[in-house]
Amino acid sequence: MNNCLLVTGGAGFIGSNFVLDWLSSSRGPVVNLDKLTYAGNPENLASVANDPAYTFAHGDICDAKLVARLLAQHRPQAVVHFAAESHVDRSIAGPEAFLRTNIDGTFTLLQAAREYYGTLTGSERERFRFLHVSTDEVYGTLRPNDPAFHEETPYSPNSPYAASKAASDHLARAWVHTYGLPAIITNCSNNYGPYQFPEKLIPLMIANALQGKPLPIYGDGQQVRDWLYVLDHCRALRAVLEQGRVGETYNVGGGNQRSNLEVVTTLCALLDELVPESKFKPHFQLVKYVADRPGHDRRYAIDARKLETELGWRAEESFETGLRKTVEWYLANSAWVESVTSGAYQQWVTQNYGSRDLAEAPASEAMAKEAL
């Protein structure tokens, strides 16, 4: 065994940022197993495609033989499991893919890792870890004055996506306690940053605003999320890999609670500043309220004190600094955005947003306009 990692879903948003961050610090080789579904983009990793420390394996995490072969061939020190169907709206439209990837795929990986772990001895056995990367959505929703989610918060998932991730968390925990697999679970808040597929809120709003397209906001826009800059998340995962306790769960949050309307308001003001020649200024005028999605969780918030206290991690980016870096990255990488917004993606946007009835602009819109 060497310092190699087997990363699943490493061509996706968080996974590709993690791979790039890991390789840039020369921590060891990476084998990236990715099926390259719509959100998995090999262009995210173009800068390391010819790096001898990087190996790409095109395949499905549900392929037990392939996973076993990669483990035996590369003998990694850890499996870092990002691969997941992750978009709530897509889980509502078609939940089957979420159950297959998030539940069956995680089961396949856990079984393969368990068998591989059984072949290890000595220091190799002591060092091996299975890091299961999950979401705060497994905890359900919070009322305005509820305390933030902590590691002991009961699971209460409200969407097919959240339910499938909750199931995968339970599997990982069961493989620790039943089979002794040295797994650790992390549950993170909403990530944002470079390479995020533009179906998620922030990159969707950037792409639409630059083209003068409507900026669709669900309901009254007062759904609150805790926003975590993706490279802060990558730092947290490295800390958990290096120092985290087997069988434990660590919540990862940015400490930046913002409503969706606040996010879009701040983003529009940034675009007004950074793209002064835009024909669509002020960009907030493009906001369009649409009917809310079914079962939309009202608020998420993460208590990351366990991670901070035990492992010494702190988020380095505020929401303002992280969002500025994100907008600047998308402005500098318009070719990447164009390459991922294919015809199939446009069909999805039309399906998800075009069929929704317009919602009446809520009173909170006036407050947002005052902030501009």
Alpha helices in 160-297 (DSSP H): 160-179, 201-211, 230-243, 260-274
The burial class, CB within 10 Å (0-12 / 13-18 / 19+), for 248 is middle
Q: Is 137 a catalytic residue?
A: yes
Catalytic hit among 136, 199, 220, 308: 136
CA distances from 226 to 194, 256, 287, 303, 327 (A): 18, 5, 22, 10, 18
Any bridge partners for residue 63, and if so which? none
| Distance from the first to the final alpha carbon of the chain | 55
Catalytic hit among 60, 85, 89, 137: 137
CB of 326 closer than 8 Å to CB of 194: yes
Name the helix (H) or strand (E) containing 64.
helix 64-74
Q: Is 250 a catalytic residue?
A: no
Task: Give dist(CA 345, CA 325) in Å, integer.
Answer: 25
Q: Is 273 a catalytic residue?
A: no
What type of residue sits at position 40? G
Task: Give dist(CA 7, CA 78) in Å, integer.
Answer: 8
What type of residue sits at position 139? Y
- The radius of gyration of the chain from alpha carbons, rounded to an integer in Å, stands at 20
CB of 221 closer than 8 Å to CB of 361: no
Catalytic hit among 117, 161, 218, 250: 161
CB of 193 closer than 8 Å to CB of 316: no
* Catalytic positions, written as ranges: 136-137, 161
